[in-house]
Amino acid sequence: MTFTTGLVAVAPAVLPSPTQGVWYVGPLPIRAYALFILLGILVAIQLGERRWGARGGIPGTVLDIAAWGVPFGIVGGRIYHVITSWQPYFGADGHPIRALYIWEGGLGIWGAISLGGLGAWIGARRAGVLMPPMADALAPGIVLAQAIGRWGNWFNNELYGGRTDLPWGLRIYEWNQDAGHAVLGTDGQPIVRGIYQPTFLYESLWDVGVAVVLLRLDRRLRLGHGRVFALYVFLYTLGRGWIEALRVDPANTILGLRVNLWTSLFVGLGALGYFVWAGRRHPGRERSVLRVPDPEPGVPAVIDATTTDPAPEAPAAGSEPEAGKEPEKEPEKEPEAGAEPEGRPEAEPGVDPKDDGDPVPSSAEGKTP
């Protein structure tokens, strides 16, 4: 059974799409895409802070690093998107200025991770922490942020696959990108383009699953040295590969495959290789999350940030006391009953040893007092 909406027949058992993605508060536009991106960033920071604290990190460090990583990531994601889909911006009928319109959608995850990782590395060095444990702490939150951000694509009626008659097919409208809403027909109803595979939903659900797997494996295996992040990249590329193959939006290809498919293949293999290598070379977790300068001779090279400071060691026998400090005196011992006190001088002539040491008066004095 079908019914007609506007000019296109629509099956009733489908997933709906929003007909509006922008709302105005006075002259200020509120865009759903931007709101979901911001929500994802907040979730990633919150979860990252919790995981960083559990690894012995100082609270607030993740927020400091995010101040570097997030702007770098947004710029990197946009650059990757524009480079791999340059025709709408620099093609024959392109508009170069639109390359700056991030709110219209179009952030490539690989550019965001690459340049965002550079920003995070700068922030980590400034904070004095190691990057591998920080990346491991952030990985589950990053993939959750991706899952949330995909719902911004839903509001923009983008990132869908081929036509389908599946019960969970997604209704996509003709879209006015400048205005941020569906195009209306002569009857005032949104014009339906068709029913398509909801690839945005597939990727969002896949990302949530990846986050759950990372959290459980990290808790059970105590992964470290960047292996949680490497596992995130590998698992994400597995899902991105088959989801990318379903998409029908315009994209550049190499040897018949979309560019993002090639990127996922090489990045995923690299992540898997690093995961295996790091597991053999650095089993377990780092002893410390801190960067320390080159140690002096006799000083440990790694500080354990998860333990308290050790008690000060006693000075070695015969060592000189530190300048400005008096040597500690040993407590005096009480003499035992009947024992002669140590260090008592020998009896001198004219001194009764049984007396208290006072000299015996000589006979020359004539008499005792």
Quick: pLDDT tens for 263-272: 899 999 999 9
Q: Count of domains in the chain?
A: 1
The answer to whether residue 178 is domain-embedded is: yes
Nearest to 287 by CA among 267, 268, 270, 301: 301
Answer yes or no: is pLDDT of 136 > 60: yes
**Would residue 83 count as lying in a domain?**
yes
Structural domain includes residue 366: no
Q: Which domain holds residue 244?
A: 22-281
Examine the pLDDT at 303 and tell me if it is beyond 50. no
Q: C-alpha angle with apex 283: 282 to 289, nearest 5 degrees?
A: 65
DSSP characters over 73-108? HHHHHHHHHHHHT-HHHHSTT--GGGGG-GGGS---
Is position 150 within any domain? yes
In-domain check, residue 263: yes
Residue 170 lies in a domain: yes
pLDDT mean over 5-18: 62
Give per-residue pLDDT as tens, 208-255.
Answer: 999 999 999 999 999 999 999 999 999 999 999 999 889 888 788 888
Classify residue 232: in a domain, yes or no: yes
Note whether residue 294 is domain-resident. no
293 confidence band (pLDDT: 50, 70, 90): low
- DSSP string across 303-357: --TTSPPPPPPPPPTTPPPPTT-PPPPPPPPPPPTTPPPTTPPPPPTT--TTSSS
